[in-house]
Amino acid sequence: MSKPESDPLLLPREAWASRLGLILAMAGNAIGLGNFLRFPVQAARNGGGAFMIPYFVALILLGIPLMWVEWAIGRHGGAHHGHGSTPGMFQALAQRPWAKYLGVLGLFNPLVVLIYYTCIESWTMAYSFFSATGRYFGITSRGEMGVFLQSFQGFAESPHFPAGFGTAYAFMLLTLGLNVLILYKGIVAGIERLAKIAMPLLFLFAVALVVRVITLGTPDAAHPDWNAAAGMGYLWNPDFSKLMDATPWLAAAGQIFFTLSLGMGSIQCYASYVRKNDDLALTGLTTAATNEFAEVILGGCIAIPIAVAFFGLVETQQIAASGAYDLGFQAMPIIFQKIPLGHLFGCLWFGLLFFAGITSSVAMGQPIMAFLQEEFGFSRRKAVAILSMAVFLCIQPVVFFRPFLGEMDFWSGTIGLALFALIEVVLFGWVFGMDRAWEEITRGADIKVPRFFYHVIRFVTPAYLLFIFGFWLYQDALPTLRMSGVAAADRPLVLWARGLMLFIFLLSLLLIGHAFGRRRKTGRTA
């Protein structure tokens, strides 16, 4: 049976204009807020240098293998079958109707993360503006800076902002609008152009900040041990006794997921726009290496070292223990007031975070765009209108009710990532078959992929993921499910957040079934 002319698979799919653009876009997808906020906090919380050993072990056994797996799934699904989202990719791998439903997390995870991530991203845009204008200058304690942040968000009253959510809401709308505009422009004119502008600026800002940190010296003569070198030493000198504790190992594996954007569905989507014989081995490895340089070398040389220089090691550990937001939005603004050209460096810091955020958030939106365009045949205009309306409606409770962000981050940005990665590596290595999977990874490769990774992908990575997912389920998911430690007043909001996520999940399943039902009616195959 011939395909009808309206079949979107007959329409030419977009392709990256250049390999550099692809690498920068993939790096932009991976390099996010976690590189400069979450990584230093995780390292500081988990023994400094002791954290780096399990971190690099997880990179080799989880990060790089999963990067190649997701690139290969994406190229196979896109170049061979015309799918830019994981439901179609998974059905093409397994050649079974049930497999498409396993790809639901490739729609659910990026959409839910995009909803709350856009909100955080808007804070970085706002704080870049506040730094340039000196809005927070004159605030000298972390407690007061916390009130400044909460009043900006609308959760507290202060003389710095008018009562209500107006300021934060305006920056949220502006941030969402920029994301929508970039997605509307498409792969080349939107995402690739953004990457070619934002990524060089991101690295330029980061290098400028690193140079500023390295040249600080000892800011407080009364504390000669408070300097950036002491902070870097803390991050890189391992306490080997910490390695007997499971916590750093689990934290390191979790950080690898966050930092490389694994289990999200966005890598597969981006990879679907390469040609079937294009290299993915070297390009995927380059993407991972670029991300690691941004995280370990640049991210590791900014927040923690400068915090140690101004607050000392003990207080820096306390700041890290209280979370990434305290480090990024409370401690750093105080530091910028104590150094020359603080307005400039504050603007660079939050501008860096904004560029890291927006290159990641558009990557989260693209799998949804691809699903709507390719499986339903919607125009780009209609697809972006549907996506933007969905995000706009769902972001409302995130802006107005604090428990939403943490709840959505845990289930989609932690548990969801690990579960999805486990599903895809089993499907790719065992259902699709490891011999075919290896041929897909190595076809057109510009480097020789060590055979060692054949066995890692087949045995080690699934076992590693199963352990991580099981441990998180036991240690974190069950207490979270029971709302342990949640205030009674917040429990209805937590249930509301879960209801919203359940609705998104079930709606995604229904849309997948409807889309592929249309395929059967038109005689299309996976």
How would you write 126-185 as a 3-class SS string? HHHHHHHHCCCCCCCCHHHHHHHHHHHHCCCCECCECCCCHHHHHHHHHHHHHHHHHHHH
Q: Across residues 172-196, what is the average pLDDT?
A: 97
Question: Does pLDDT of 454 surpass 70?
Answer: yes
In angstroms, how far is CA 306 from the centroid of its own chain?
24
In the structure, what pLDDT confidence band is assigned to residue 525 with cuts at 50, 70 and 90?
low
In the structure, what pLDDT confidence band is assigned to residue 164 with cuts at 50, 70 and 90?
confident
Residue 5: per-residue pLDDT: 35
Q: Which CATH class is domain 8-522?
A: mainly alpha
In the structure, what pLDDT confidence band is assigned to residue 220 with cuts at 50, 70 and 90?
confident
CB-based contacts of 521-525 (< 8 A; 24+ apart in sequence): 522/3, 522/4, 522/7, 523/1, 523/2, 523/3, 524/3, 524/7, 524/9
Across 179-196, b (16+ Cβ under 10 Å) vs e yields: bbebbbbbbbebbbbbbb
Question: Does pLDDT of 238 surpass 90?
Answer: no
Question: Does pLDDT of 12 surpass 50?
Answer: yes
Least confidently predicted of 1-10, 71-80, 453-462: 1-10
Mean pLDDT of the chain: 93
pLDDT digits 0-9 by tens, 393-428: 999 999 999 999 999 999 999 899 999 999 999 999
Helix or strand holding residue 230 (H, E): helix 228-236
Tokens representing 395? Answer: 């972001």
In the structure, what pLDDT confidence band is assigned to residue 50 with cuts at 50, 70 and 90?
confident
Amino acid letter for position 175: T
In the structure, what pLDDT confidence band is assigned to residue 8 with cuts at 50, 70 and 90?
very low
Q: Number of C-alpha atoms within 13 angstroms, CB side, residue 106?
A: 33
Q: Across residues 253-273, what is the average pLDDT?
A: 94
Judge whether 47 and 246 are in contact, CB under 8 Å.
no
Judge whether 334 and 143 are in contact, CB under 8 Å.
no
Least confidently predicted of 35-39, 158-162, 198-202, 308-312: 158-162
Question: Does pLDDT of 120 surpass 80?
Answer: yes
In the structure, what pLDDT confidence band is assigned to residue 45 with cuts at 50, 70 and 90?
confident
Judge whether 381 and 362 are in contact, CB under 8 Å.
no
pLDDT digits 0-9 by tens, 346-371: 999 999 999 999 999 999 999 999 99
pLDDT digits 0-9 by tens, 498-507: 999 999 999 9
Nearest of 356, 366, 453 to residue 33 by alpha carbon: 356
- Cα–Cα distance for residue pair 308/90, rounded to 1 Å: 47
Residue 524: per-residue pLDDT: 58
Amino acid letter for position 104: V
Burial of 238 (0-12, 13-18, 19+ CB in 10 A): middle
- Cα–Cα distance for residue pair 262/284, rounded to 1 Å: 12
Q: What percent of the chain has pLDDT over 70?
A: 96
pLDDT digits 0-9 by tens, 485-524: 899 999 999 999 999 999 999 999 999 999 998 766 665 5
Residue 519: per-residue pLDDT: 67
